[in-house]
Amino acid sequence: MVFGSILFMPVPESTTGGPQQDTVPDEGVEDGPSSPGDRFESVPDSADLEEVVEICAPNSEHVRVADEGNTIIISGVAAEGGPEEPVEELACVLVLLDAPDSLWDHIITTRAIDGQQEEELGAYTVRWSYHPDDGLNLTIVTNLRLIAKRRSRRISQIRARFGRACGRIMRPDLIAKGPLVIDPSTDQVLIPARNDTTIRAVGRSYIDVGFDRGESLFVPGRPVWNDKTVRELYYHYNLQTDDSNDRFHEKLERQLASASDDAKLLMAELMALQAMPLTRNSLKPSSKADRVEPVLRWMDENVALPEEIKEAFLEGTWNGGTGAHTMLWKWLFDAVELLRAWFRLLPPERSHIIADPWEWRDWIRGTGGMPSLTEALLYLGFPEHFLPIINVEHKRKIRGAFSHLLPEQIAGVDLDRDLFEITLRLQRQYGDRIDFYRPPFRDEWQTTVRPSGERRAWYVPPPHDDAELEYWIDQGIITISAGRLGPLTSATDRTTIRSMVESAYGHLDYADRAALTMEFHSFWSLMQRDDLVATVQDDQLWIGVLKHGAAYGPGGELSRNVDWYSKQPIALTGLSQSLRIELQRSVAVADISVKLTELSQILGVETDTSEEDQEESPPPLDPLNPALLQGLSERLHLDEAWLRELVSLVQDRKQVVLYGPPGTGKTYLAQELAEHLTDRDAVTLVQFHPSYAYEDFIEGFRPAPAGEGSVGFVLTAGPLRDLVRKARNDSRPHVLIIDEMNRAHLAKVFGELYFLLEYRNRSVRLQYSPEESFSLPENVYIIATMNTADRSIALLDAAIRRRFAFEEMHPEEAPVRDLLSNWLGQNASGDPRPALLRALNEAIPESDHDFKIGPSYLMRADAGSDEGIARIWRHDLLPLLEEHFHGRMSRSEVHETFGLGAIRLAAGTSLRAATEEQTST
């Protein structure tokens, strides 16, 4: 096979950006064998294509400039049995043009691609075609005018990077097999699997400069990584917790308000450390900076984000999942605790730990921090020994899938050493760096996992003494006593368990027997493999993952095997208030899946998250963004300042009622507001009515086919429970619109929701699902509408009024008062509709304030003519007024008072009076 030709073609500067990343390699890397690295000693400040060829391939028959200096062509690369020079020359050109690592990967891997393809790689457009007879033809289009700006980097850095490049280019004699050449010096360490050179360099600086020397990474030489600053940060952040619903930065600013600049600087550097390795689909580079820079602005001293940190933000190592956002507070909490422990060590101890990867691992793991912190510190400190994986569950599955590569005497003893040995053996076998999130390795371990909607979390009460708990942890089990119950089989269902409990525990109260039935059934049948399990003893939390099924022991106990994720428990004081409450209120086996996401994020075992590169997802939009609010105002013809206040109200209170007379646009505004806050597929609309019930709204039994022509009843989720399920697995806002909320019997419909609307950090047991905990996630919003013509809000009970924020939309008050005129725009001055509406509402007594008429009746397409207005008056407005004034006015009196003729006359008088007043002014 022959690689046909590689073309480098400059394109106009305006069509592309700069190179994808400007990585700064590790110092001290030697040039590879046969490396033309000395050629770089004469690199000028800028180089055109002729100079690139002269530097990389002087007098070479394989490299030439064509098209009047606009194209470099490299031919005969890696030809079977051919010379090696074209390989080195290609590497030289790629390095000099500052090509991203992903471009090298494409050149190497596209040999297996049949047909033609094109892909954008940052500042490069890569086109290639392959045919078994013709070989590979590759065209690379890039902006060479920007390349010249990179020549300011030190020559030693370019040489170091080129030295690694030579080891990554495919040798001709291996072209048929596909592996790359591994430098012999890397035979005993791991080759980092990700294109994150700058992240690794900066990450190691955190260890050497921060942990070791105690100096700031943002302000060189400034001593902020020390016991004094950490203790101050611990006091302001860890001890001064803020459980309000405000945004993270708002709470953090309050916590650090009286802290010193050193403490704020240390916090900013910790936040940068957390954000730096996240891939773009998890957090965009600009969003990473947006997290850190506000903290720097709170300082009295002006400190800017260093350029090397910004460059590291452009790369990515792993996808942090939703926990990278929702658990940021916990990551920082644990990081401060870790630093407190670190700076309590004596300097010689710290120096000893920091010099050895396995000593570093033992100390880091012993701190008990969440895995997204501890696993990150392992990789950033020693990427040649630890994998770029923060999902501990994935690490265990990888070891299980490749354990056949380990000697029997060490397999399963030490997870990190096992993975180190496995990866080394695979490197030697395949001759390349090993990425377990890419084929063929991914297919070996990434078996099907239960969807997050099916996975559950369970609380199991702890044993009576510490010794038995130690036995649980050592043996990897959980147990509950069931001595009176008798043996169970895999076929034992809830009905059978209930009968066994009734027989064996008949001396207990009915409620106790029901609770035991639920507990035994949950432990024996409902718990499934891969579910999370938690227990609490002495304010310490232990979490694990269930393995295979339950067993009935000779001592009359039910047991299950558990893979405990740490030999160190987690202190309850470091958890959110809602999770602490949920764990502390449970006294028996209970489903706590309401906290599954938070528990998964603490452990780093989010089932829907992998570190594999994924397509970048669009960043969430800020609903208070001025441009977005302006667009919403223009679409709705409502005042922008009023809309801003309404959006803020919804974000703050999460439960808002839009109330007012008919025709004021409440439902339309609710829908537009919901889609302004989130995506359309995250919005659910329901309409209440007098027959609407709890079973319709939350959950209830519905008829369903039961086989052989019979009908049974199945517990079915209503719109609220379905929306909550989606919100738990999706960090976007989820909005429930309740139209005509006051038409239903709210106490009967809402049920337990009354409690949850006021206490979102708590959970309840639903009447049809008493074995489960249920709560409202923070990303669930409720926007309700109420037509005051049907029922005044004055008739609502105090419980509802206390739980919702109310915003009136009245025809005689802003912004609804001006809606019709704004909608008509320039035509408003000659259109009679605003004056007619104003006159009609003036004719309605003030005692009927809740029955004034809204403008939407006159904003229809057929209202643009006199005939259309007369039709609306006759068929819409007068019947409405007749019903409202029934018993107080006869039909003829209604028509005489509110008929179109009478209102036209009043509107004409009103209009003349307004004109005369304006003229006199």
Q: Whose structure tokens read 């500042």?
A: 123
Mean predicted confidence (pLDDT) in 135-156: 43
**DSSP conformational letter for 623:** T
* Weakest mean pLDDT among 150-159, 409-418, 848-857: 150-159
Q: Is the pLDDT of residue 605 over 70?
A: no
Confidence of residue 423 (pLDDT cuts 50, 70, 90): very high
Digit-coded pLDDT (tens) for 530-579: 788 999 988 888 888 887 778 888 888 899 988 887 667 888 877 777 78
Digit-coded pLDDT (tens) for 683-701: 999 999 999 999 999 998 8
- Give residue 569's identity as a one-letter amino acid code: P
Strands 3-10 and 135-142: parallel
**CA–CA dist 590, 519 (Å, integer):** 7
Confidence of residue 711 (pLDDT cuts 50, 70, 90): confident
Chain-centroid distance, C-alpha 67: 48
Rounded to the nearest 5°, which phi and psi values hold at 417? Answer: -70, -35
Q: Around Cβ 483, how many Cβ atoms within 10 Å?
A: 10
Buried b (16+ CB within 10 A) or exposed e, 216-250: bbbbeebebbeeebbebbbebbbeeeeeeeeeeee
**DSSP conformational letter for 466:** H
Q: Which helix (H) or strand (E) holds 445?
A: helix 442-445
More confident residue, 278 or 173: 278
Residue 732: C-alpha distances to residues 305, 481, 618, 654, 777 (Å): 29, 42, 12, 14, 11
Strands 710-717 and 3-10: unpaired
pLDDT at 225: 96
Confidence of residue 42 (pLDDT cuts 50, 70, 90): very low
Q: Which two tokens stand for residue 407?
A: 């000697």
**DSSP conformational letter for 661:** S
Q: Is the pLDDT of residue 777 over 70?
A: yes
More confident residue, 788 or 912: 788
35-39, 135-139, 530-534 — most confident range: 530-534
* Residue 215 β-bridge partners: 223
More confident residue, 575 or 24: 575
Confidence of residue 55 (pLDDT cuts 50, 70, 90): low
**CA–CA dist 343, 552 (Å, integer):** 49
Side-chain-facing half-sphere of 209: CA atoms under 13 Å = 18
Mean pLDDT, the chain, rounded, equals 77
pLDDT at 874: 92
Q: Which two tokens stand for residue 101?
A: 């690592």
Q: Is the pLDDT of residue 799 over 90?
A: no
Q: Report the share of the chain in percent with pLDDT over 70.
A: 73
Mean predicted confidence (pLDDT) in 820-840: 86
Residue by residue, DSSP assigns 169-198 as: SPPGGGTTT-PPPPPGGGTTSPPP-SS-HH
pLDDT at 613: 39
Residues 6+ apart with CB under 8 A from 267: 233, 237, 252, 256, 295, 332
**CA–CA dist 622, 560 (Å, integer):** 46
**CA–CA dist 346, 513 (Å, integer):** 58
Digit-coded pLDDT (tens) for 171-207: 333 223 333 333 434 457 888 888 888 999 999 999 9
Percent helix, strand and coil across the chain, each rounded to 5?
50, 15, 35
Strands 780-787 and 734-739: parallel
Mean predicted confidence (pLDDT) in 714-719: 87
Confidence of residue 89 (pLDDT cuts 50, 70, 90): low
Q: Which two tokens stand for residue 888?
A: 């107080």
Digit-coded pLDDT (tens) for 324-352: 777 788 899 999 999 999 999 999 999 99
Q: Around Cβ 198, how many Cβ atoms within 10 Å?
A: 22
Rounded to the nearest 5°, which phi and psi values hold at 337? Answer: -60, -40
Q: Around Cβ 814, how many Cβ atoms within 10 Å?
A: 12
More confident residue, 168 or 271: 271
Rounded to the nearest 5°, which phi and psi values hold at 575? Answer: -105, 165
Given CA atoms 319, 323, 328, 334 in this order, what sign does their dihedral have? Answer: negative
**CA–CA dist 718, 752 (Å, integer):** 14
Rounded to the nearest 5°, which phi and psi values hold at 248? Answer: -55, -50
Residue 59: C-alpha distances to residues 3, 79, 123 (Å): 21, 19, 29
* Weakest mean pLDDT among 129-133, 390-394, 794-798, 898-902: 129-133
Residues 6+ apart with CB under 8 A from 452: 596, 606, 607, 608, 729
Digit-coded pLDDT (tens) for 627-653: 889 989 999 999 999 999 999 999 999
Q: Is the pLDDT of residue 917 over 50?
A: no
pLDDT at 307: 92
More confident residue, 51 or 731: 731
* Weakest mean pLDDT among 14-28, 406-420, 531-545, 795-809: 14-28
Q: Report the share of the chain in percent with pLDDT over 90.
A: 32
Rounded to the nearest 5°, which phi and psi values hold at 508? Answer: -90, 165
Per DSSP, the three-state class of 656 is: strand
In Å, the largest CA–CA distance within the chain is: 106
More confident residue, 795 or 862: 862
**CA–CA dist 6, 107 (Å, integer):** 9
Mean predicted confidence (pLDDT) in 605-610: 44
Confidence of residue 164 (pLDDT cuts 50, 70, 90): very low
pLDDT at 180: 34
pLDDT at 39: 43
Q: Is the pLDDT of residue 817 over 80?
A: yes
pLDDT at 482: 87
32-46, 144-158, 643-657 — most confident range: 643-657
CB 410 within 8 A of CB 416: no
The alpha-carbon radius of gyration of the chain (Å, integer) is: 34
Mean predicted confidence (pLDDT) in 732-738: 93
Q: Which helix (H) or strand (E) holds 142?
A: strand 135-142
pLDDT at 657: 95
Q: Around Cβ 310, how many Cβ atoms within 10 Å?
A: 17
Confidence of residue 511 (pLDDT cuts 50, 70, 90): confident
